[in-house]
Amino acid sequence: MAQSILVVDDNQLLLYGLAKALKYNSYAVQTASTGQKALRKLAYCPFDLCMLDIDLPDFNGLELMKMVKDFCPDTKIIIMTASNLDSSEVSENISTAISNGACHFISKPFDLCDIRQVVKKVLSGEDDFHTGFRFTSSSFEKKSRRSPRKPCSEKIGFQMSVIDQGNYTRWSMEAEAVDISDRGIGVLSSYHLKESQVIGFDEKMDNKTGVVMWSKTIDADKCRVGIKFA
C-alpha cells in the first residue's frame, strides 16, 4: 500500500507542483489550502506524513501542527516556510517546531529533487524525529553551481499551470534562454514567473520539468529567472 502524504499550503501552484513531484515517487498525495480543510481530511484519513506551511490564511502552521499530532500522533511532520524571514524568526520557528515534534524544517523556494529525497528519508525512518531534527534551507543562489552554465541564446517553449477564475488552466509561453547546464537554465521571460513555480518545457528541452528558484524583475516587461531542472 502506498504511503500517504498530506500537503498543506495556501499557494495553489505550489500544491500542484509538490503533489505532482511526490506522486511521481508513487506516494498517495492529498492537498489542503487551509488549516480547516487539512483537519477535515485528517479526521477521516490517517497520513504517514504531513507537510505544513507556517503561514496559512486561517491558522499558524506551528499551532496546526499540535492539532495534527492530536489527531494522528504517529504522523511525521515537515514544516515549510518562506526564506525571507530574519534569522531570529527562523530560529524561533525551528525551536517551536522541534518542541512540537517536527522532524524537518524546509525553507522555500526549494528543489523538488531535494524534497523527494527528504520525504524518502523521513518515510523510510532514516530521517526521523526520534533520532534528530533536520533543517534544509534554500541554497540555489548561495552555493556555486556544480555544473557551470554555458551561454545560450535561443527561444524555448514552456508550459505552466495557472489559476484562472478559480480553475486550473495550462498556459503555453515562450522565453529567451540566457545560459544552460544539465542541472538548470537561466531565461528572460515577459511573464513574471514566481519562486517555487513548476514549469514544463517542450520537446526542444526534452520535455524536462523545472522549478523557479529565483526571479528578478528587470523592467515592466521582462524578468530574469533561474530554473532548476527537477
- Last residue of some domain: 104, 136, 168? 136
Residue 7's pLDDT is 95
Would you say residue 68 lies in a domain? yes
Domain that holds residue 70: 4-136
Nearest Cα neighbor of 63 from 84, 43, 38, 27 is 38
Residue 144's pLDDT is 43
Q: Residue 188 and residue 173: Cα distance in Å, rounded?
A: 12
Same domain for 131 and 218, yes or no, is: no
Number of domains within the chain? 2
What CATH number has the domain bearing residue 62? Answer: 3.40.50.2300
Same domain for 116 and 43, yes or no, is: yes
Q: Which of 31-35, 169-173, 193-197 has the lowest mean pLDDT?
A: 193-197
Would you say residue 14 lies in a domain? yes
Same domain for 132 and 154, yes or no, is: no
Residue 127's pLDDT band, with cuts at 50, 70 and 90, is low
Residue 51's pLDDT is 93
Cβ-Cβ contacts under 8 Å for 220 (sequence gap 6 or more): none
Q: Residue 187 and residue 112: Cα distance in Å, rounded?
A: 19
Lookup: cell for 56? 496559512
Same domain for 95 and 46, yes or no, is: yes
Residue 131's pLDDT is 33
Global pTM reads: 0.59
Same domain for 131 and 44, yes or no, is: yes
Residue 193's pLDDT band, with cuts at 50, 70 and 90, is confident
Q: Does 5 have pLDDT greater than 90? A: yes
